[in-house]
């Protein structure tokens, strides 16, 4: 990045700060209903709110001008923009490719980029940035181009929420797009390498990094792991272009979601090769789609990819969050590309999608999270490899700062329990996680419950059925009594054999540690 460009970005930062161009200011401008409408790609309620505001004040405000131009994608008067960006100026905004170039006769200025505030809460606290990306369908009034650079979408938020934020030396963001994951990683990594196949994406991402004051992100052009061929990282994150798209004539291939491979081959490639780029103890986290064929379930397919990955052998935790029938999948992604249903083009693309699926015998498509970990040779995390592939299709628990901290707790609990023999586990004390409650169901008039469920308030909101013995054990895990002592007392109370009770309960205690429902007692 050149000095003059840095100066322009500094001027933009100072103008956006002075204007108070924040997420809460925008919500204050047009209210939660208009916000919700914008999420549905409808801007009329927001526009009406802006018109009301101007009529009440008798003038526009800097935030309203910036919101109308960069969030709603509408032209504004040059004089208003000059007022909203006093340091950068109209010329500077054109040089940064935020607006089209203007001359003195123009009555309005048009946006050529989307620029909006973004706020978050993660494990390190709250934060607020501005994110530039390409104009979306709403602002363009038509489908986006195949080289579209995406802003912060639902999948971006899912991945940033999943990100484990332990301090690390190095992190890789593969397929950085507007740079959102790289910036999140740069909060806890000393240095981040952000790659993309799109030079435009890298330009936008580096502008965003500069705008938001990051100096520890390096941007590299190239496909998949090519730009980091011989390097390893302590953390890899990727929201890769995982959408399954027919490789057929006349089917648009959007760079932001389609990696150009057949079926789910791109996700397979990332699963197979991420481990080679992990330093010992390093963790990779990414999102993906996988196909269900009539011969093979989606998670079995992912298991197969993992089994073929032999150097290095990685720990893997794969969580499938959803499965869609191929019809619904095709409809979702054709619509996402800007083609409206009931048009001849939509039907043609729908046919191409179904032909492609039929050709490979695909019936459904799974979506989920993949986490890989390269065991640390010095202190192996587990008697490797740890493999956990599960379907968790229900709603998540409530956790304001995402799932990352919960995933860390689960991995720590798993490592802790696998390093202990049954005798060592029985001699240990545990505590119940603070988000866990017990739900008891009774037949009317009965004193004893007919069913009991451990409910996790955060994390994946797991619901684990438990019996009287396990309920009593969990209830007594206060960090003081050992598991063995609790089982001894329970055996007496229930008049059962103590060894048999321990044998029955210890595997279940291990499973509760894996789910961070029980936690090792913190050392003081
Ligand atoms: C779904 S977007 C994710 C953007 C951003 N990381 C996020 O989370 O919002 C996928 C990104 O991968 C990039 N991409 C596509 N094919 C790629 C490839 N073969 N190698 C690296 N990046 C690729 C796209 O240009 C796009 O920026």
pLDDT digits (tens, 9 = 90+) for 186-206: 999 999 999 999 999 999 999
What CA–CA distance (Å, rounded) separates 494 from 482? 18
pTM of the model: 0.94
Q: Does the pLDDT at position 380 exceed 60?
A: no
What lies within 8 Å, CB to CB, of 458 at 6+ separation is 397, 398, 399, 406, 435
Do residues 258 and 245 make contact, with C-beta atoms less than 8 angstroms apart? yes
Which residue has its alpha carbon closest to ligand 1 atom 4? 177
Do residues 5 and 97 make contact, with C-beta atoms less than 8 angstroms apart? no
Ligand 1 mean position, distance from CA 396 (Å): 26
Ligand 1 mean position, distance from CA 23 (Å): 25
Do residues 214 and 183 make contact, with C-beta atoms less than 8 angstroms apart? yes
Which numbered atom of ligand 1 lies nearest the CA of 238? 6
pLDDT tens-digit series, residues 289-315:
999 999 999 999 999 999 988 788 899
Q: How far is CA 427 from CA 248, 372, 472, 487, 504, in A?
A: 62, 31, 18, 11, 16
Ligand 1 mean position, distance from CA 37 (Å): 27
Give DSSP secondary structure letters for 304-360.
HHHHH--SS--EEEEEEEEEEEHHHHHHHHHHHTTPPTTSHHHHHHHHHHHHHHHHH
Residue-averaged pLDDT of the chain: 94
Is the beta carbon of 177 within 6 A of some atom in ligand 1?
A: yes
Q: What is the pLDDT of residue 199?
A: 96
pLDDT tens-digit series, residues 112-134:
999 999 999 998 999 999 999 99
98: which DSSP letter?
A: S
Q: Does the pLDDT at position 99 exceed 70?
A: yes
pLDDT tens-digit series, residues 208-253:
999 999 999 999 999 999 999 999 999 999 999 999 999 888 898 8
Which residue has its alpha carbon closest to ligand 1 atom 24? 256
Q: Give 383's pLDDT tier (boundaries 50, 70, 90).
A: low
Radius of gyration of the chain from its Cα atoms, rounded to whole angstroms: 26
What CA–CA distance (Å, rounded) separates 182 from 214? 10
Which residue has its alpha carbon closest to ligand 1 atom 16? 259
Q: What is the pLDDT of residue 33?
A: 95
What CA–CA distance (Å, rounded) separates 507 from 490? 17
Mutate to test the pocket of ligand 1, among 155, 183, 197, 229 (most ligand atoms within 8 A of CB): 197
Q: Give 88's pLDDT tier (boundaries 50, 70, 90).
A: very high
Ligand 1 mean position, distance from CA 152 (Å): 12
């Amino acid at each position: 990045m050149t000095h003059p460009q840095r100066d322009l970005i500094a001027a933009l930062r100072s103008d956006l700060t002075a204007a108070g161009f924040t997420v809460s200011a925008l919500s204050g401008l047009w209210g939660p209903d208009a916000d919700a409408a914008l999420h549905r790609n409808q801007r009329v309620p927001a526009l009406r709110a802006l018109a009301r505001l101007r009529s009440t004040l008798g003038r526009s405000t800097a935030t309203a001008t910036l919101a109308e131009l960069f969030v709603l994608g509408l032209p504004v008067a040059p004089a208003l923009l000059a007022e909203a960006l006093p340091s950068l100026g109209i010329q500077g905004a054109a040089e940064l490719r935020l607006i089209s170039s203007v001359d003195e006769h123009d009555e309005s200025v048009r946006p050529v980029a989307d620029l909006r505030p973004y706020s978050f809460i993660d494990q390190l606290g709250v934060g607020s940035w501005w994110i530039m990306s390409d104009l979306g369908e709403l602002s363009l009034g038509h489908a986006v181009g195949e080289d579209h650079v995406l802003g912060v979408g639902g999948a971006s938020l899912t991945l940033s929420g999943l990100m484990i934020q332990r301090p690390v030396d190095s992190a890789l963001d593969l397929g950085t797009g507007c740079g959102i994951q790289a910036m999140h990683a740069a909060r806890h990594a000393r240095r981040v390498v952000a790659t993309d196949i799109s030079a435009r994406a890298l330009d936008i991402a580096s502008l965003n990094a500069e705008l938001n004051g990051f100096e520890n992100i390096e941007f590299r052009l190239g496909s998949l792991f090519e730009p980091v061929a011989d390097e390893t990282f302590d953390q890899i994150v990727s929201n890769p272009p995982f959408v399954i798209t027919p490789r057929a004539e006349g089917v648009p291939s959007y760079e932001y979601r389609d990696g150009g491979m057949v079926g789910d081959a791109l996700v397979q490639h990332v699963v197979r090769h991420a481990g080679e780029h992990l330093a010992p103890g390093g963790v990779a986290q990414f999102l993906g789609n996988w196909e269900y064929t009539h011969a093979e379930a989606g998670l079995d397919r992912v298991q197969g990819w993992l089994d073929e990955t032999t150097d290095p052998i990685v720990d893997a935790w794969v969580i499938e969050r959803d499965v869609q029938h191929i019809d619904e999948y095709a409809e979702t992604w054709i619509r996402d590309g800007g083609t409206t249903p009931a048009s001849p083009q939509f039907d043609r693309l729908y046919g191409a999608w179904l032909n492609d699926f039929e050709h490979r015998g695909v019936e459904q498509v799974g979506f989920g999270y993949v986490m890989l970990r390269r065991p640390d040779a010095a202190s192996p995390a587990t008697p490797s490899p740890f493999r956990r592939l599960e379907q968790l299709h229900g709603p998540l628990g409530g956790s304001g700062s995402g799932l990352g901290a919960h995933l860390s707790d689960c991995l720590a609990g798993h490592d802790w329990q696998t390093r202990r023999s049954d005798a060592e586990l029985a001699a240990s004390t545990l505590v119940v996680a603070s988000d866990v409650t017990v739900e008891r169901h009774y037949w009317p008039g009965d004193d004893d419950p007919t069913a009991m469920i451990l409910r996790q308030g955060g994390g994946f909101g797991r619901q684990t059925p438990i019996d009287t013995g396990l309920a009593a054990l969990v209830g007594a895990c206060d960090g003081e009594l050992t598991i063995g002592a609790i089982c001894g007392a329970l055996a007496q109370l229930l008049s059962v054999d103590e060894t048999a009770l321990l044998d029955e309960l210890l595997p279940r205690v291990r499973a509760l540690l894996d789910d961070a429902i029980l936690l090792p007692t913190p050392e003081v």
